[in-house]
Structure 1
Amino acid sequence: MTTIPDPAQAHQPRAGATIISGPWPSYTQFKGFPERERWTIYELAKAGRQAMEDSGFEMAESYDAFVRRITEELDL
């Protein structure tokens, strides 16, 4: 579990939100795909996360950490 050193940065969940803590799918298996396909997978990953958030789920992984992880895994 990741600890947050500054309590002011602690995540404040929305009332009634279900927090999804993972495990998250890994996209490293797509690293060898052509760049165009990797960008498509990146957009699908973002759309999937957005759909879950729109349904009332809240992710334990921040959006910035999510984007950083996906771009590293897809080598974008």
Structure 2
Amino acid sequence: MVAVESSARGAVWLLRRASDGATASLRFTGEVAAASLVAAGTVVSVTVVTAGWLLSMAGEVICLVPNALGESLLYNERIR
């Protein structure tokens, strides 16, 4: 992880791949951003799965970044 920025709207992580320097940014909002206590220099592992990519730190999954198949499996409904 290269940088972490926090704001009232959430957090942005800037990730850089060690092998070739490719970069990506991830924006987290809401409870995920509040619960993310990470600092620049933290190692984030990426694992490719059928539904997308799993991001993990210290053996714990942080989030799933879904690909097209993963997005088709997502479902959200407000329960009253």
TM-score range, shorter chain: under 0.3
Higher relative contact order (CA 8 A, sep 6+): 1
TM-score after normalising by structure 1: 0.24
Higher helix share: 1
TM-score after normalising by structure 2: 0.23
